[in-house]
Amino acid sequence: MLPLDGSNGARFLDSPLVPVKLRPNPPRADKKISKEQPLMDSNGIPEHVSRDVHVGIFDLDGLFRHKLMDSSKADKLIEKGYSFCDVLHAWDSAEKTWDDSETYIDRPAQIFPETRRHWPFGADAEVMVADFTGEFGKKSPRNQLLKHLAKAEAMGFDVTAAFEYEFFLLDETADSLREKRYRDLQHFAKANRTYSLQSAAAYGDLFDGLRQCMSLMDIGLDSLHTELGPGCFEAPLTVASGVKAADDAALFRNFARAYFARNALTTVFMSKLSPELSGQSGHFHISLQKDGAPAFSDPDAPDGLSQTARHFLGGVLELMPEMLVLTAQTVNAYKRLVPGAWAPTWASWGVQNRTAAVRIINDSPEATRIEFRVPAADSNPHAVMALCLAAGLRGIETGAEPPAPVKGSAYEVQPAASARFPRDLVEATDRLEASEAARSLFGDSFVDHFVRSRRFEVQDYLRHVTQWEIERYIELF
């Protein structure tokens, strides 16, 4: 069957760029591979079952900056320590440094062997996550998340979570984008509709390849379906424990882009691609368990929420406006957080209410959870999860109570000034910088570093003249 837009879909059905069905590297006959614990040799050093290892660190924007090395070298670095250039925390996503006079040096880091996954684009290779350590490591959103996961454990809680991502596919390559100067872009699956059977049938092989790619990396897709707009799709990830939920999300974005690029397509996770199209969400689901039981559920309560859940929710709602920039870190993100864009505009909540910033899902005790609907698809998942968990745990500690839930549309409510979201990246950055709660939860080092990075983002944006300005003013002034 050909695509509904009339283009030749055969390239996706027969293209050699679609990954073949690789089988995970077989374990040695005398040993079994565990996804939870790496293999150990007689000296207690993690072993590898692959020849090559892709070791990477997530930067502030969630980009996976990696190096390829032999597994024997990786083993030595796991044991003796790793180092990586600190420029990862001194440049923006376009690799423009904040201070050209600074000397960039290697900083101590560590490789986490428990994060080992298969490299999906070839046999005999693996992927592992690393991060900076020590004082410099405090600048990392992933390290901040680990700190608050440890706090949750100390409070007796286990944490499970999952992200869901909307994204556009463009029928463009890196070359064609530049040739067009990023204008008049062609969408893949132009006739796409939400929950479309036709698109699923037309492009089944392409998305089977995506599922296979993620499966090889132990990233589960809870579902996969078309969304609102041409070439728009959604991929909710399966629930995972602890930091793996955020790692899965960050790796999904990085490797989905790579997978579709191998098929001559461009994946777009940015918050708002066009004023005519809806924004792209990166909703975050989280729940706590205590002694093996769901800590957010109370079947006898009117809304099914336990006191623990209400305090957690109260903490998230209280800190959401002043720490919003951790979930909306680009200039573009604030083009999505406006009425009519299928995104929240203030710190609100409701039971099964998709217009609120926090949606309570209480279908069953085991499934009772908080859906944080503020983040866009381009938000840093480690920062999102760190914010939500840190604020929620603080709410449990302080006994924070949420306001009354929104029954109808949250867009019809006139919220209190304290509950309104910042209007742009400038205001959001100012509020984070002034937040005593953020400094208490994350430390001055992280807050000051994140603020500096967002100030640079704003300064770079303000130097540019947009097409809107030219069309609006060129014939008037």
**82-85-89 Cα angle (round to 5):** 115
Task: Please say if the pLDDT value at position 358 is more than 50.
Answer: yes
Say how far apart CA 305 and CA 362 lie, in whole Å: 8
The residue among 117, 139, 161 that closes a domain is 139
Residue 270 lies in a domain: yes
Buried b (16+ CB within 10 A) or exposed e, 6-38: eeebeebeeeeebbeeeeebeeeeeeebeeeeb
Domain annotation covers residue 308: yes
Backbone angles phi, psi at 350, to 5 degrees: -165, 155
For residues 266 and 352, state if they share a domain.
yes
Q: Residue 99's pLDDT is what?
A: 66
| Maximum C-alpha span of the chain | 78
The last residue of a domain, from among 89, 117, 139: 139
Reported confidence tier of residue 63, pLDDT bands at 50, 70, 90: very high
6 in a domain, yes or no?
A: no
Residues 6 or more apart from 338 whose CB is under 8 A from it?
345
Angle, vertex CA 59, rays to CA 57 and CA 62, nearest 5: 100
Is residue 22 a part of any domain in this protein?
no
Rounded-to-integer distance, Cα 369 and Cα 361, Å? 5
Name the domain count of the chain: 2
Question: Do 374 and 434 share a domain, yes or no?
Answer: yes
Cβ atoms < 10 Å from Cβ of 395: 24
Question: 233 pairs with which residues across the strands?
Answer: 167, 226
Q: Report pLDDT digits (tens) over 122-140.
A: 888 999 999 999 999 999 9
Question: Which pLDDT belongs to residue 48?
Answer: 61
- Looking at the structure, do residues 118 and 221 belong to the same domain, yes or no? no
> 62 is in which domain, residue-wise?
36-139
Stretch among 13-22, 85-94, 340-349, 395-404 having the lowest mean pLDDT? 13-22
The β-bridge partners of 226 are 233
The C-alpha atoms of residue 156 and residue 288 are separated, in whole angstroms, by 10
- Quick one: which of 376, 9, 377, 378 has its CA closest to 190? 9
CATH number at residue 119: 3.10.20.70
DSSP 123: S
Least confident piece of the model among 22-36, 210-224, 375-389: 22-36
Euclidean distance between the first and final Cα of the chain, in Å?
Answer: 53
374, 427, 322, 359: CA torsion to nearest 10: -20
Both 229 and 331 in a single domain?
Answer: yes
Q: Sign of dihedral through CA atoms 297, 301, 304, 310?
A: negative
Lowest mean pLDDT: which of 22-36, 155-169, 342-356, 406-420? 22-36
Q: Alpha-carbon distance 277 to 269, whole Å?
A: 13
Q: Which of 139, 170, 198 is the last residue of a domain?
A: 139
Domain co-membership, 129 together with 258: no
